[in-house]
Chains A and B, each alone.
Chain A
Amino acid sequence: MIKKGILLLILVGFFAVISSLIINFTGNEALNPMAKHYAENGPSEVGAANLVTAVVVTYRGLDTLGEITILFIAAAIIGFFLKAHNADADRPSRLRKTSEILETASTLLVPTIFMLGAYIFINGHLTPGGGFQGGAVMASGVMMIILARPTSKFNHKLLSVLESVSGVAFVILGVLGVVLASGFLNNSFLPLGELGSILSAGAIPIIYVSIGIKVGSELTGILDSLKEHQNEI
Chain B
Amino acid sequence: MTQYFSLEFITMLTGFLLIIVGIWGMISQKNLIKIVIGFSLFDTGLNIVIVSLSHIKNSTAPIIDKAVDVSQAASKIADPVPQALVLTSIVIGLGVTALMLAYVLRLYREKKSLDINSYTDLKW
A and B touch in the complex (CB under 8 A): yes
Give A contacts to B, CB under 8 Å.
4, 7, 11, 14-15, 18, 22, 25-32, 34-36, 38-40, 43-44, 49-52, 54-56, 60, 63-64, 67, 70-71, 74-75, 77-78, 81-82, 85, 127-128, 130, 132, 195-196, 215, 219, 222, 225-226, 233
Contact A7 B95 (CB under 8 A): no
Contact B81 A35 (CB under 8 A): yes
Expressed in whole angstroms, the minimum distance between the Cβ of B100 and any Cβ of chain A is 10
Chain A proximity mask over B26-70: 1 for CB below 8 Å, otherwise 0? 011000000000000000000000000101110001111100001
* Interface residues in B73-95 (C-beta closer than 8 Å to A): 73-75, 77, 79-81, 83-85, 87-88, 90-92, 94-95
Q: Closest 4 CB pairs between A and B?
A: A74-B95, A51-B62, A55-B84, A51-B80
Residues in B with CB closer than 8 Å to A78 are 98-99, 102
Give B contacts to A, CB under 8 Å.
3, 6, 8-9, 12-13, 16, 20, 23-24, 27-28, 53, 55-57, 61-65, 70, 73-75, 77, 79-81, 83-85, 87-88, 90-92, 94-96, 98-99, 101-103, 105-106, 109
Residues in B with CB closer than 8 Å to A7 are 24, 27-28
A127, B62: Cα distance in complex, Å: 10
CB nearest to A54 among chain B residues = B80
Contact B80 A11 (CB under 8 A): no
Expressed in whole angstroms, the minimum distance between the Cβ of B7 and any Cβ of chain A is 9
A36, B56: Cα distance in complex, Å: 12
Contact B102 A82 (CB under 8 A): yes
Residues in B with CB closer than 8 Å to A4 are 28
Contact A64 B99 (CB under 8 A): no
Contact B62 A32 (CB under 8 A): no
Asked whether A28 and B92 contact (CB < 8 A) given A4-B28, A56-B87, A195-B64, the answer is: no
A15, B116: Cα distance in complex, Å: 26
A83, B10: Cα distance in complex, Å: 45
Contact A215 B84 (CB under 8 A): no
Asked whether A132 and B91 contact (CB < 8 A) given A81-B102, A81-B106, the answer is: yes
Asked whether A31 and B79 contact (CB < 8 A) given A51-B63, A195-B70, the answer is: yes
Contact B12 A52 (CB under 8 A): no
Partner pick for B13 among A22, A29, A30, A49, CB 8 A cutoff: A22
A109, B123: Cα distance in complex, Å: 51
CB nearest to B56 among chain A residues = A28
A74, B101: Cα distance in complex, Å: 11
CB nearest to A56 among chain B residues = B84
Partner pick for A55 among B81, B95, B96, B99, CB 8 A cutoff: B81
Contact A67 B91 (CB under 8 A): yes
Residues in A with CB closer than 8 Å to B20 are 11, 14-15
A215, B13: Cα distance in complex, Å: 33
Contact A71 B91 (CB under 8 A): yes
Contact A49 B64 (CB under 8 A): yes
Contact B80 A70 (CB under 8 A): no
